[in-house]
A and B are shown apart, each in its own frame.
Chain A
Amino acid sequence: MSDARVPSPDFDESRYERPNKDWVCGRTCEGCPCRVGPSPSGECRATTECKPQLVLKEGETKGTWKCTRSKDWGGPCETGPLPDGTCCKSIARCQPQRSLRSRRGLITRAFVAACVAGLLIALTGPWREALITPAPLSAHHSGPEFQRMAAAHANADPGLGCVACHAEAAGGFAHWSNEALKAGRASLAFAQFLEPHPKDFSRMDASCIVCHQQQSFHQADVARDTSCSVCHLEHQGREALAVVGSARCTDCHGDETQMADSAAKGRKLPAEFFLKPTTPGVVTFLARRPSAGFTKVISSFVDHHPEFRVVRANRSDLDTLAFNHALHLTGSNIPLLGGKPLECASCHRPDASGAFMQRVSFEQNCRVCHSLQFDEHNPDMQLPHGDATYVRAYLRSLPAQYAEHGTRRLGITGKNDLSRYVEEQMLRLRERTRSGELLEEQVFFGNLRQGPVPATAGYAGPGPAKFAGCATCHEVTARGTAVPLITPPVMPDRWMNHAKFNHAKHTAMACADCHAAAKSQLTSDIIMPSQHSCTACHSPRGGVSDSCTTCHTYHNPPPAAWLSGGAQ
C-alpha cells in the first residue's frame, strides 16, 4: 500500500463527472478529454476549440470575431478566429469509448442473450430431455425393458423419453408454458402449497396406473386418494424411488379431519371391504376389524399405534387341537429329544426365506414322541394318522394287518407260523380290550384325562408318550355307527395379516422375548407379541426403525368384494 498522498487535483468544479453516461471521450485515457464529449449515441462531437463570438461596436457593421476558448484549452488564443468567424484551432477527432457502466451493461445484456440462446438451443434440440431431467430416473423406470413397456402402453415407438410418463413433454416450450399456466391455476395454485393433503390424481398418476394397475388401492375407507408421487419421488437417483418415510403415512393418519372423514366413510361400508385377501394355501388368522375401525389419529408407532388386532381383548385361538405349550416346555415328565429338553425350535422351524415358521405337522413334529402305537407288544404297528375312516378300516382289519406285519416286518414265512402269530396277537388284544367295538371306542375317544393310562396306551412308565386315544389331542364327535368326526385342527400360518414380519431379522432375540409360550397352558391362548414388546426396540429410544413401512405396506391388494363392483 502506498504511503504517499494522492495529489489534490486542481479541477474546475463546474466540470463534474458523469459516470452514468454511456460514452466518454476517446482521449480520456490520455488524461485530456475534450469538454464537449461524445454524443449519447457515441459519436465524437469535437469541432474546434472555441466558437468565436462576433463583437460589434457602435457604428461598426462588420464587427470583430473574438476568441472564446475556454480555460481548459489555454484561454483565448493569440492567433484569434479566422476572418470568416471560424476558430483556427480545430480539435482532432477521437473514437469515443464506452464508459465502465456501459461496458457492464453490455456484458450483462450479452450474457443474458447467451443464456436465452443457449436455452433455446437446449430446449428445442434433440437432446432437450437429457438436459432438463432433474436427476437420473430410478432403476425401475430406466432401461430398455421399461422403455418397451412404456411404449407399448403409450402405443408409440420404443425409445421415447419423458413422454412415456409426462404426456405434456410431447410439445415444445410454448406448449410447456401453456401446461404450466394450467397447473398454476389448478393443482399448483398457491393455495395448494399449504394444503396438507394435496391431491392430483389426474395427470402424472394416470401414467403410473397404466402399468401399476390396482396399486392405487390402500383401504376401502380412504376418504381421498393420494397421488403416487406424494410417496414415490422420481428423479431422485437410481435407487431412491421406493424409499418412503413415515411422514407420508402420518400426513393422513396423523390428521384428525382426514381420519374423521375416513371413519365416516368406513361406517357405511360392509365388513367384507376390509378383509385383506390372503395368499392361497396360507392359513391366516381372521381377526375382525373393530366396529369403529382403525381411524384414530396415529402419529407414531410408540405413542398412538393401537394394540395389535390379534392380541386385543377377547381374542382367542379357536383351534380344536389340544396343546399345552407350558407342559411341553417345562413339564418334568417330558423326555429329552436328541439329548436336549424340548424347546421352541424343536417344533417351529423357519421356512426357506426365514421370514416365517413352517407349519407344524404330526409327522414331522409330533410323531417322534407321540407314536400311534396301540399294541405294546408290536411297537411297529401304528395307527394311520389323518383320516378317521382309515383308522376304523385299520382296526377292523387287524388280523390282516398283523399278518402283513408278521410277513413284512418280522419275516414269518410259514403259513402256519403266520396264522399262529396272528391268533396270538388277536387273543392278547381281546384279553385287554374284550371286543373290537371297545377297542375302536378307546382308540377314538380315549384321552389322558380319563384317569389311569387306558389299555391302548400299554405299559405306563418313562419313555415316549403312550397313545391314549385320538381325543387326547383332537376334538372327536361320535356319530352313531358312522365314523366319529375328528375336527381337523387349523393352525394359522399368519397371525398378523396386516403387517409383515421377518423372523430371520430377529434371530438375535430369544423366542420367549416375544412369545410367552412357557406360560401358555391352553390352546386358546394367543401367544403373539403385544405392541409393547415391539416398541422396546422399534422406537426412537430403542434405536431400531419404527417407520410405518417397517411393518406395513401401503399398496394393499383390493378385497374381492371391493373389486366385484363394490368400489362404486
Chain B
Amino acid sequence: MSRHLALRRSFFIGLLLAASAAAIWKYEQLRPVYPRLVYLTGWILFALILVLTAYNVRKKLAFLPLFSSRTWFQVHVYTGLLTGLAFALHLRGRWPTGWFEGVLAGLFVGVTLSGIAGWWLSNVLPKRLTTAGGEVLYERIPVIRRELRLKAEALALQAIPEAKATTLADVYARELSGYFSAPYNFWANVFGSRRLRNFLLSSLAEAKRYYTAVEQANADQLAELIREKDAIDFQRTAQLILKGWLFVHIPLTYGLIVFSAVHVVLVYAFSGGAR
C-alpha cells in the first residue's frame, strides 16, 4: 500500500472513530432529555441507508461529474460503518423480537455483513490478482480460454502426422480436453489450492518416457498452457467473487429499503403518543 493510500485510510478511520465517539457522546447527552430521540435516530438511519444506496445509482450515472468512483466507494464504506453505529443506537441495545422487526433487523445485518465482506474481498482479491499477474477483463476470459483450448488441441494433434505417434494426443483426450474446454477449479482457486493443476502436470509428465522428441517439445508447451489456463481460471474465480458478493448486497439493500418504508408507516400509524 502506498504511503498516500495509507495516510488516506488512516484519515478516514480517524474521522470515522471521531464521528462515532461524537455521535455516542451526543446521543448519551440527549437520550435522557428527549424521549422521542429514537424517532430521530430512526430517520437518521434511514437517511444514511438512502445515501449508501445512492452509490449504486451513482455507478449507473457514470457520466455525471460527481467525484470519482473511488471517492464514492470510500465514502460508502465509512458511511456504512457509521450506519452500523446508528443502527445500534436506534435499537437501544435491544434486539427486536417481533417477526417484522426481526426481519428488518436481519436485512440490515445482512446488508452490513455482506458489505463488510465485499469490502474485505475488494481489498484482498485485487492484490492476489496483481500477484498472479496479468490484467484481463472478465468479459474476455471466455475468448482467452477458447484460444488456449485451440492452441492445446493444435499441439496435441500436431504430433500425430509429424511423429507418427498418438501418445500425447491420447493424454490430451483423456486428461486435458475437459480441462481446456470449460472453466475449471472454482473452489480450488477460492482456497488457493494447486492440487488439480499439479495433477494435470504430473499426468502429462508421467507419459514423458513414451513421448517422441516432437511430442516432448509439444508436451512442454502444453504444460505451459495448463499453467496459463489455471491462471485464467483464477482470474475468472476472483473476478466472479468480486462481482458475486453484490448479488447478495444489492438485493438485500433494496429489500431493506422496502421493509424500512413499511416500518416507518407502522411506527407512525401505531405510535399514537407512544415513544
Partners in one complex: yes
Cβ-defined contact, A19 with B35, below 8 A:
no
Q: Mark B238-260, 1 if CB is under 8 A from A, else 0.
A: 00000100110011101100110
Cβ-defined contact, A108 with B232, below 8 A:
no
Measured CB to CB, the nearest residue on chain B to A176 is B269
Cβ-defined contact, B143 with A203, below 8 A:
no
- Judged by DSSP, the binding face of A is helix
Residues in chain B near residue A111, CB distance under 8 A = 251-252, 254-255
Could you tell me the distance between the alpha carbons of A263 and B55 in the complex, rounded to whole angstroms? 54
Pick the residue among B99, B235, B243 that contacts A6 (CB under 8 A).
Answer: B235
A303 lies within 8 A of chain B by Cβ: no
Cβ-defined contact, A6 with B140, below 8 A:
no
Give the number of chain B interface residues (Cβ < 8 Å): 71
B142 lies within 8 A of chain A by Cβ: yes
B34 lies within 8 A of chain A by Cβ: yes
Residues in chain B near residue A247, CB distance under 8 A = 31-32
Pick the residue among B100, B247, B275 that contacts A122 (CB under 8 A).
Answer: B100
Could you tell me the distance between the alpha carbons of A144 and B56 in the complex, rounded to whole angstroms? 50
B262 lies within 8 A of chain A by Cβ: yes
Q: Mark B98-111, 1 if CB is under 8 A from A, else 0.
A: 11110000000000
A168 lies within 8 A of chain B by Cβ: yes
Measured CB to CB, the nearest residue on chain B to A18 is B139
| Stretch from B70-78, B127-135, B157-165, B214-222 that touches the partner | B127-135
Cβ-defined contact, A17 with B137, below 8 A:
yes
Could you tell me the distance between the alpha carbons of A234 and B275 in the complex, rounded to whole angstroms? 10
A32 lies within 8 A of chain B by Cβ: yes
Cβ-defined contact, B228 with A130, below 8 A:
no
A179 lies within 8 A of chain B by Cβ: yes
Cβ-defined contact, B275 with A251, below 8 A:
no
B274 lies within 8 A of chain A by Cβ: yes
Residues in chain A near residue B272, CB distance under 8 A = 166-168, 183, 187, 200, 203-204, 207
Q: How many interface residues does chain A have, given as a range?
A: 35 or more
Q: Mark A188-211, 1 if CB is under 8 A from B, else 0.
A: 101011111010111111010000
Residues in chain B near residue A190, CB distance under 8 A = 43
Given contacts A1-B234, A2-B197, A104-B246, contact A112 B268 (CB under 8 A): no
Could you tell me the distance between the alpha carbons of A198 and B149 in the complex, rounded to whole angstroms? 73
Given contacts A11-B140, A19-B139, A169-B270, contact A5 B231 (CB under 8 A): yes
Cβ-defined contact, A132 with B266, below 8 A:
yes
Could you tell me the distance between the alpha carbons of A434 and B264 in the complex, rounded to whole angstroms? 96
A8 lies within 8 A of chain B by Cβ: yes
Residues in chain B near residue A194, CB distance under 8 A = 30, 34, 37, 40
Residues in chain B near residue A136, CB distance under 8 A = 97
Nearest chain A CB to B226 CB, angstrom units? 8
A sample of 18 more A-B contacts (CB under 8 A), given A201-B273, A248-B35, is A1-B128, A4-B133, A5-B228, A111-B252, A115-B258, A119-B259, A132-B100, A133-B98, A136-B97, A167-B272, A173-B265, A183-B271, A188-B268, A227-B273, A227-B274, A233-B274, A235-B98, A236-B94
